[in-house]
Amino acid sequence: SPLSRSDVTFVVGQEQQKVFAHRCVLACRCQAFRGMLAGSEDPPNSVPPQGPFILGNVQPEVFLAVIEFLYTNSVTLNSHIALEVLTSSVEYGLQDLCKLCVKFIKDTLSVEQVCEALQAAVTYGQADLQQHCLAFIEGCTAAVVRTRGFHELSDVVLARVLRSDRLAVDELELVQAVREWAHVSSAVLERPVPEVAALPVRELRLPLLAPSELATLESHNQQDPLIPVENIAAAWRSHALRKGSGVPSHLCRPRRGTRPRDHHRHLDPHAK
């Protein structure tokens, strides 16, 4: 039975599921477990604690996936636990498990999960996964900006997305998506909308909007502040001068999904 053959017990998750394992396997395969099982306060010749070790913040299915990897050097993943197993792989310093998680996430990426995957990739410094997620978002931007995951992005990650020239959505829709994101973030962080949105709104390409669109945006912004007045003023100035004067050049560059407007030819320094 598990009780007679194992020598360490974990009590995992809110369900308090018992997971039985072998100290020698865990300690040999993972330095983090080696430290946990040895105990930092124990004298060298003492008997290591058997536990049970309480892991209340981990889902049993996630912890069992980690244990499976330590025993077999492989892992059974599904879309519900892959990101959490990735988190555990980073916490436990299991680089090979991390690679398996990244491969699975890339192979099974979906509209609903891509933003959560991108956030995790940035958090854990997974550059390859970041690029893969961004390319996925660029391919189906209009659907992605309506997801819960998009509304839960950090301001830093959202700003990174908005720097892309290849987003397949019009700028007017991006402005609305950022407004909705800002209201969610404001409620969660209990901070004013303009404050939480300060970084992402810098990446909105307001000079791409037609004068009528810009006027509507300005009126809406007075009632529901999101964009600094000086950003809107700079966009108006680009219209008045018929060029992107005083505006960073990338903010005048149409994205892949930008609908053409008559004034865009004046913003393009290469236009004839």
Instruction: Give residue-wise pLDDT tens across range 79-112.
Output: 999 999 999 999 999 999 999 999 999 999 999 9
Residue 93 lies in a domain: no
Region 232-242: mean pLDDT is: 88
Residue type, 161: V
Give yes or no: residues 136 and 46 share one domain: no
Residue 102 lies in a domain: no
Most distant CA atoms of the chain, gap in Å: 82
Give yes or no: residues 167 and 252 share one domain: yes
Give yes or no: residues 138 and 249 share one domain: yes
- Structural domain harbouring 62: 1-77
Give yes or no: residues 68 and 145 share one domain: no
pTM, entire model: 0.87
The yes-or-no verdict on residue 137 having pLDDT over 50 is yes
Number of domains composing the chain:
2
Query: Which residue(s) pair with 17 in the sheet?
Result: 12
Give yes or no: residues 246 and 156 share one domain: yes
Q: Do the Cβ atoms of 212 and 191 come closer than 8 Å? A: no
Question: What's the length of the chain?
Answer: 272
Give yes or no: residues 269 and 136 share one domain: yes
The domain that holds 39 is classified in CATH as: 3.30.710.10
Give yes or no: residues 242 and 167 share one domain: yes
Give yes or no: residues 31 and 140 share one domain: no
Q: For 7-59, what is each residue's pLDDT tens digit? A: 899 999 999 999 999 999 999 999 999 988 886 444 554 545 666 899 999 99
Residue 98 lies in a domain: no
Give yes or no: residues 155 and 54 share one domain: no
